[in-house]
Amino acid sequence: MGISLPVTLAVLGAALLHASWNALLKSSPDKGLENVALAAALS
């Protein structure tokens, strides 16, 4: 039994979003802005 295509795409999409989010936060010189962005994203 294999993994269905929608599940595979959802997992790959989540991984891409996670990697993009991490790269965005790590590249920002303003750590205060990072904290606000993180709090806004999680609420």
pTM tops 0.85, yes or no: no
The pLDDT assigned to 4 comes to 96
User: Chain centroid to CA 10: how far?
Assistant: 13
Domain ranges of the chain: 5-42
The pLDDT assigned to 6 comes to 95
* Tens digits of residue pLDDT in 1-43: 788 999 999 999 999 988 988 887 788 788 787 778 778 877 7
- Contact assessment for residue 10 and residue 23, using Cβ atoms and an 8 Å cutoff: no
The pLDDT assigned to 5 comes to 95
